[in-house]
Copies of this chain bind each other. A is one copy, B any other.
Amino acid sequence: MTGRVALGIDGTRTIQEGRARDGCGREGNDACLQCNLGDLAFCHGLPEGELRGLMSIQGCVRTTPQDTLFNEGDRATYLYSPLSGAVKIYKLMADGRRQITGFFFRGDLFGFSPNGLHGYTAEAVTAGSLCRFPAAKMELLYPDSPVLAREVLRRSMIKLAHFHEHTLLLGRKSAPEKLASFLLTLSQRAVERGDSASPVLIPMGRSDVADYLGLTIETVSRTLTKFKASGLLELPNPSTVALRDPAALRRIADGGI
């Protein structure tokens, strides 16, 4: 654990500040030179000058599970890009209903805000570390960093495309279709990060999966059990899924009879 933390009124930890150590890379100066994201990084391939600008404002935080990175309504101070671990973002209703609107892994980028305030809460799913950039300083870079600006726009368009897909899932798919879609997406994103397609790690608990898919934990559990019984997958433990018949899962995900 690194960085000072404070306990919120509900006892959850909130990151105050992070000092870079070991795996997190050093801050500023040469931090980016030690980054191990490779071409996953949104800053990969930036021209020398643009990278220097980014590097000069780069910072780093580490998380342990359930750390809060920021709350809905907070000033949108930073953009984040996980180096390791997983983060979830969610919105809450007054009575406690929760909708998780995204999971972020190694190489992803999040924290965008159109109005200077975060519209959702961000919380660590696992231990990990995140590269971060002051949003205000980032904005100042864009006019002289066309490649960076273009990549940030591209990332936000990718996220928009994800939302279109997820909106279809939430509005029109059945529970089995939702779960099949979710598992395949997790698997595909793992591949994009260079991890294996098939024993897929599900770093989040059932309740996170349920709140992401608009279901309850019971329905998530029952549906996975049914998939297992049909030979579509194996569950050596609750957080590991071996996809035994990805093609069949694909058909289910797409609503193919």
With A142-B150, A143-B146, A167-B163 already in contact, the answer to whether A157 and B99 are too (CB < 8 A) is: no
| Interface residues in chain A, defined as those with a beta carbon under 8 Å from any beta carbon in chain B | 91, 93-95, 97-99, 101, 112-115, 119-120, 139, 142-143, 146, 149-150, 152-154, 156-161, 163-168, 170-173, 211-214, 254-257
From A165, A170, A257, residue with most partner B Cβ within 10 Å:
A170
**How often does this chain occur in the complex, in copies?**
2
Q: A101 touching B168 by the CB < 8 A rule?
A: yes
Looking at chain A's contact residues, the main secondary structure is: helix
Provide the bound-state CA to CA distance between A242 and B150, in Å: 43
| Residue in contact with A149 in the complex, picked from B91, B142, B255, CB distance below 8 Å | B142
CB distance from A74 to the nearest CB of B (A): 14
In the complex, what's the smallest C-beta–C-beta distance from A103 to chain B, in angstroms?
Answer: 13
Name the residue in A146, A171, A255 with the highest tally of chain B Cβ atoms < 10 Å from its Cβ.
A171
Q: Which of B114, B157, B211, B213 contacts A154 (CB 8 A)?
A: B114
Cβ–Cβ < 8 Å partners of A168 in chain B: 91, 93, 99, 101
Residue numbers in B under 8 Å from A257 (CB-CB): 95
Closest to A95 in B: B255
By Cβ-Cβ distance, the 9 closest A-B pairs, closest first, are A171-B214, A143-B146, A170-B170, A163-B163, A114-B157, A99-B168, A99-B171, A114-B158, A97-B172
B146 close to A142 (CB less than 8 A): yes
CB distance from A112 to the nearest CB of B (A): 5
Contact A171 B172 (CB under 8 A): no
* A153 proximity list for chain B (CB < 8 A): 142, 149, 152-153, 156
A106 to B255, CA, bound (A): 35
> Is A164 touching B120 in the complex (CB atoms < 8 A)?
yes
The docked-state distance in angstroms from the alpha carbon of A256 to that of B156 is: 32
Q: How far is the CB of A185 from chain B (nearest CB, A)?
A: 14
